[in-house]
Amino acid sequence: MRSRRTLVLFLLLGLFRTLHSQPAVAPPKLAVIIVVDQMRADYIDRFQRDWSRGLKRLITDGAWFRNAAYPYLGTVTCPGHATISTGRDAGRQMACTEDPAVTNLGYDGPGQEHNSGYRLKVPTFADVMRTERGAHVVTLSVKTRSAIMLAGHGGDAVTWMSEPLDTWLTSTAFARALVPEVKTFIAANPVDADFGKSWTRLLPASRYRDPDDDQFERPPPGWTQAFPHAFNGTAGKPDASFRVQWDISPFADAYTGRMAAALVETMRLGRHDTTDLLGVSFSATDRAGHKFGPRSQEIQDQLARLDRTIGDLLDRLDAAVGKNQYVVALSADHGVTPIPEQLQRAHLDAGRVNINDIVARIESKLGPALGAGAHVAKLDGRDMNLYFLPGVYQKLVASPALLADVVEAIESVRGVRRVYRAEQLRRSTCADSLHGQRHQTWTLRSSRDTSRHRADAGEDLRPHAPERRRRAADRSAALALAPRSGAVRKVRLARMR
């Protein structure tokens, strides 16, 4: 730790000398944060020959931080965006967007859900720019948690789509009424206008590295594994299945990019007396990655099209703000593993953890000791936190031998490397490197780590009805499982001119 402090001090001193030896440089008119959801670091090496516009421009004109990594386990969208926007590790953020004290406002439909950055424990870059410099802040994404975590606790226009994907939203945490510029854009550009179109391959067939129709891909209803993918829904009209298809395609990113550019122009970002901020999170790479996997033609094509989308955005920023008058930083919030069955086919050690099998093994240990019936409330497959029904964990703590049996049963499952008790993760002293990574993700005041919904251990799990305030002691999962993985690499590019 001491050497790290020395290095930081040295760099700061070097920076101060540089600042004093160079003439003053005018601050940028606009700072732009771009997040590409689920963009693996190796995508740049694999696919950059396909790019000629926005992503290529960032690589050519910017700085590429090749060794950037998230030093924690449990890398998902919400804490990833919060880490980017705050600079803090996930265990010190409490990234969760549910807030029953606010009301969501719908731009093209009724308001749904209740969301804000209330639970974020630290200010974001946008918060500091807004409160200290008077910056105008605009953030947007198809995903709720992405738009909100980039903004933080306030903003001039914070915009996202509802969970059913049927309306664009903001909330009373950010605006007392709908933002006119956002409303105008959405009214003039309905998502349903993409109904009947198709996602086809952009590149020549010979350019694609992976098969087009792998049997382990899981396309949404109405699609097959192979191109083209038509936006026809399943009922021949713009229904819920159409919106799911649209959401996992480059069309969603293209829409997000056009909205971002339009809001820069209509809200005059970059033309005020201070540096304004634009935050844009493109979600389609994540959506497509979950359905088709990172080794698919869909992902390669998605990124080729995203290159064009970002290129169009930068071109419009050049026109509206001015070349060399804004700065851009691009990062991923997390990566993705290949489809396990594809790795198995290549004779590599891979597989899926069976959540039901873990629960069954736990119950087989608890039944004889505590009586018949269920004892596990929930094992969260996303962040691998385990919750017991009321009173069960207290009985385990009182019976160390039984607790040890439960832990041993869980760790015997292939794919589970280690089990940590909540008490262990609260300690600042880490027993091993994996403990350290898991500790960095753990939030004492958050029951589901840094995921977007709350679920209190020992209580009924009502993810959409969190209470406004609770005692910290009531908010933690009893056990957390660590998978067989390490720190996740992330992409970070920066364009400084």
Rounded mean pLDDT, 234-259: 97
Count helices and strands in the chain by DSSP H and E runs: 17, 17
pLDDT at residue 71, as a whole number: 78
pLDDT at residue 487, as a whole number: 36
- The sign of the torsion formed by the CA atoms of 330, 333, 339, 343 equals positive
**Whole-prediction pTM:** 0.84
- Count CB-CB contacts under 10 A for residue 266: 16
In this structure, what token pair is assigned to residue 183?
């409303």
Task: Kindly report which listed range (5-19, 196-210, 222-236, 344-358) carries the lowest average pLDDT score.
Answer: 5-19
Rounded mean pLDDT, 485-497: 42
CATH number belonging to domain 27-342+489-495: 3.40.720.10
Question: What is d(CA 361, CA 256) in angstroms, rounded to the nearest whole number?
Answer: 45
Question: What is d(CA 48, CA 323) in angstroms, rounded to the nearest whole number?
Answer: 23
Mean of per-residue pLDDT scores for the chain: 85
pLDDT at residue 20, as a whole number: 52
pLDDT at residue 380, as a whole number: 84
b/e code 276-307 from CB counts within 10 Å (16+ = b): bbbbbbbbbbbbbbebbbbbbbbbbbbbbbbb
Topology of domain 355-485 in CATH is Gyrase A; domain 2 (3.30.1360)
pLDDT at residue 456, as a whole number: 31
User: pLDDT tier at 88 (50, 70, 90 boundaries)?
Assistant: confident
pLDDT of 312 over the 80 cut: yes
User: pLDDT tier at 2 (50, 70, 90 boundaries)?
Assistant: very low
| Torsion angle in degrees (nearest 10) through CA of 199, 238, 256, 119 | -130
Q: In the chain, which segments carry CATH 3.30.1360?
A: 355-485
Rounded mean pLDDT, 148-168: 97
pLDDT of 22 over the 50 cut: yes
182-194 pLDDT per residue, tens: 999 999 999 999 9
pLDDT of 471 over the 80 cut: no
Q: In the chain, which segments carry CATH 3.40.720.10?
A: 27-342+489-495
Task: Kindly report which listed range (5-19, 309-323, 347-361) carries the lowest average pLDDT score.
Answer: 5-19
Task: Kindly report which listed range (47-56, 82-91, 474-483) carries the lowest average pLDDT score.
Answer: 474-483
